[in-house]
Amino acid sequence: MIKHIPNALTLLNLLSGCIAVVLAVNNNFVAAALFVFVGIFFDFFDGFAARKLKVQSDLGLQLDSLADMVTSGVVPGIVMFKLLELTLETPMLVNSENDWGSSMDFKGSTYTYNILPLLGLAITLASAYRLAKFNIDEDQQTYFKGLPTPANTLLIISLPLILEFQNNDTMNSIILNKWFLILLTILSCYLLNSKIKLFALKFKDFSFKNNATRYIFVMLCLVLLIVLKFAAIPIIILVYISMSVFDNLTSNKTF
């Protein structure tokens, strides 16, 4: 019975991701973000439980990646799709000469589509590629190579939360700029599959000496979240990457 606990947590991650997909498709980004957070929580603790209970398995590894593919792969792709859709001057479902195709609904109405929002799904493809590489890479035990999919998902899901809760004209104009979203999509895909070594938040012990980078990062995260709220999340991702690069340059250790 004990050996099934980590897999049960992984399946709860998958369930949370499935619910988040449905909510994101229906433009309920706040609730979708909530279930993404819940899914990432289960994603963290399934591995923790497997290590503590000493029931790690190849099945658990594969199941974990499949769950992450939904929660941290499909969801951010859909959110970016929806954000790019918002930047269009014309609605998604209209008649237009610049459309790439059309389809029929059950009532017989004809809908036409703009191709730009589909670019957001590149994040889903890049996430799948990253997760597949992670599964066959035996080196990433104490560090990550490239931005982890949950971190990337938090970055993308923070954008509609900033729009919803902070309602700052400057931030809104940046987030709803299609060129910003296009560049962010490209950057996201690159970071997911880059060779940059990023430290993992895995504590072998709780001494400050052996975990200085992690403790400093956690404290910075708390301060930034208190001060900037959801707008802190993109900055936290930038800080995470910067601290990892700095640590790589100033030491010969692997995380």
Q: Hey, how many other C-beta atoms are within 10 angstroms of the C-beta on 215?
A: 14
Nearest Cα to 117, choosing from 36, 27, 182, 190?
182
What pLDDT, in 10s, does the model give residues 20-53?
A: 999 999 999 999 999 999 999 998 888 777 777 7
Burial of 226 (0-12, 13-18, 19+ CB in 10 A): exposed
Q: How far does Cα 23 stand from its chain's mean position?
A: 16
Are the C-beta atoms of residues 148 and 44 closer than 8 Å to each other?
no
Task: Tell me how far apart the alpha carbons of residues 146 and 137 are, in angstroms, rounded to a whole number.
Answer: 12
Q: How high is the pLDDT of residue 105?
A: 46
**Per-residue model confidence (pLDDT) at position 249:** 85
Report d(CA 70, CA 13) in Å as an integer. 9
Q: In angstroms, rounded to a whole number, what is the distance separating the alpha carbons of residues 209 and 215? A: 10
- What's the confidence (pLDDT) of residue 141? 63
State which H helix or E strand residue 234 sits in.
helix 232-250
CA distances 134 to 27, 77, 140, 189, 202, Å, are 31, 19, 7, 15, 17
Alpha carbon 38 to chain centroid, angstroms? 13
The per-residue pLDDT for 140 is: 66
Per-residue model confidence (pLDDT) at position 100: 43
Tens-binned pLDDT, residue by residue, of the chain (255 aa): 777 788 899 999 999 999 999 999 999 999 999 999 999 999 888 877 777 777 777 787 889 889 999 999 999 999 999 999 999 854 454 444 444 444 444 454 555 568 999 999 999 999 999 999 988 877 766 688 999 999 999 999 999 999 999 989 999 999 999 999 999 999 999 999 999 999 988 766 667 777 788 899 999 999 999 999 999 999 999 999 999 998 888 875 544
* Predicted local distance difference test score (pLDDT) of residue 49: 77
Q: What is the pTM of this model?
A: 0.86
**Per-residue CA distances from 132 to 136, 141, 156, 196, 222 (Å):** 7, 15, 21, 17, 32
User: Which residue segments constitute the domains of the chain, with CATH numbers given?
Assistant: 2-250 (1.20.120)
Nearest Cα to Cα of residue 18 among 35, 40, 37, 41: 35
Contact 187, 119 (CB under 8 A): no
Residue 112 CA, chain-centre distance (Å), reads 29
Q: What is the pLDDT of residue 112?
A: 59
